[in-house]
Structure 1
């Protein structure tokens, strides 16, 4: 914090410097001036937070200085120290925000108390300014999301326009009268593979940056907006552009947006565009047209990024099923041979490469067919005992793209081979496990954990020696059989502890312990807390 002392008498300035405990108030710099003019020059450079001023000085007196402070440094706090008690001077000090009017000779206690009040005022006002600044930043962050939500709602339900008409008119200058509009859908499915991989963990930032580029184009060199770009919340992979003015130049405008995106991101996006329809009543229809144009574009065409509805629906190709190749792929996975998997997938991809047209609808059909077959195979091979990693859990559908954002069948082929090869390995591992008696013992323990299982009982059941079971179990699972059993029991116990109506003694019995105290002792040893503490921790 910075202070300044303005007085034409040096001994007064020295007295103030001596009497004020500056460090107590976190004031680390104190400047001096002998009149108002010198003070103004210094204040323009150092911008003090706290000013001590005399009222009667040559060149520029205290009254004039306070007027200047009120206009140029309104946040600064002023303490008047004067040898004159005139009411006019006091009234002037109050009018221009003086914290106090102290008469000379200076009383040290009064001066310290006044400085304390002034510093407290400064701190409170700074806190209020910071709070307002934080609120402004928060509002600026929330506002785009708010408008994304409104526009998304209007696409889904155009009749809701009346509800937002006043806000839309104020924000966008768009009145309630019916007018023609066009709607374009940008699909991030076709963003370049390189960009997708680089920003996958910052997907919101990609949306924000793309919308900024689009909205800058829609507002540049014009007095009024001609449209808006927003994130369509009903599909987290889409940005929607709504154009309501200058429609005769809309194709050129959309091409310009493509160029700007390409320049900024070194990647282009496919765009589906509707025909001219009535705003706001036909917004849903316009979205449907743009979406259909996007879904039915031929992904094999390399030099076209903007797809209009009238062109895309002229001829919708018949969809090709992967049914004829499914059995060959299934047998290849069962074989356990990566070579056979590659061969089966390659035969399927050869059929795909023979097509003249591939659109998003076709890709999505293949995706759903593939996952349907895979789910069926998993049920056939694993039943309820799916292996770790859940090989049936595939990411959501994405168009496989290269670094240019173009359809890359070779990448899709590689993905299929990797996925199916991993499944084949898991199947082989499962088959080996099933033939291994130790895994049968582990399954027996998982199914009978709630009973009083002993090593001798297991040895009798499987006709093996206790020593053999102990040694082999430790080799396969890396822990003793008793620890394995305790681990299963504790996991089951933790689930049961989530039920507040079950007593600890009941839970102990349900997981195979007749002695509640012994159960609690084992639980605390393994989990670090008692059963009661664990339950309370989950309730808080």
Structure 2
């Protein structure tokens, strides 16, 4: 499998690249995601990818710095630049650092897959070394997905005991399956650290308050899971302190929480409990501040993203799932009520439904 990482500060863009890419057909796998150039460098050192797909305009270490690093330290890595800025300076840097493909946002699925195909052909003509990377098999990928979901649920519910229980179960399952390769464990460790970062950002917890070292200090699976537990629980304690012992409810923080987690099951009761207020108070103050109730805001965020993704060519069924709707018919009704047009009509004449 050809290993790839995606570098973009926008979660939505990374999601779309993941959805649009014909990864299995091209014998490729996404082994990591980063929000800026520095994080990308760490992932490159850990996963030894053969392909980097990166935005150019990012806060902190941006695309230009990343291209320079790749050109100097990893000239063998293929690069696809995906940028929303049709800017001559960015194009000039892309040419200077021998970028393989330069794509503009909004991303076109055919153009993306054409670029991926070209990189695949070049890599097969000039095979690169594995760099010590051990690919995850289907079973462990399923395990990772399942335990990330469970950790997310307990984190959002501020459930420390739930997180401990999930990590204990995770350790037992790993031990039963006989996973013990140290290189593989470092990759798994980094995978869950990235997940924790996403949880912290979505809950407005500053990343600098938790140590995100990528090296294991304790040997074996038990040490790895112990370190993950320490970081998840430290982060959760910070979140609880941040919410519980404050003078005033931060409604912008609640909006940020919704903006990041709109695809999940969000209810007034759950959010109120997570922010240590009554649902009656939250409902009243949210409407006073924003002129609409919280449930309507959640639906509005979902429908804005749904329209954006449909216009970018993502299949309607996939869009419904990405927005948290399991029942497609209900998604159609909500979409038409919000936008005055059915999803299929919106795309008629430009994309297949």
Q: What is the TM-score of this pair, normalised by structure 1?
A: 0.23
Larger Rg: 1
Greater RCO structure (CA 8 Å; 6+ sep):
2
TM-score relative to the length of structure 2: 0.35
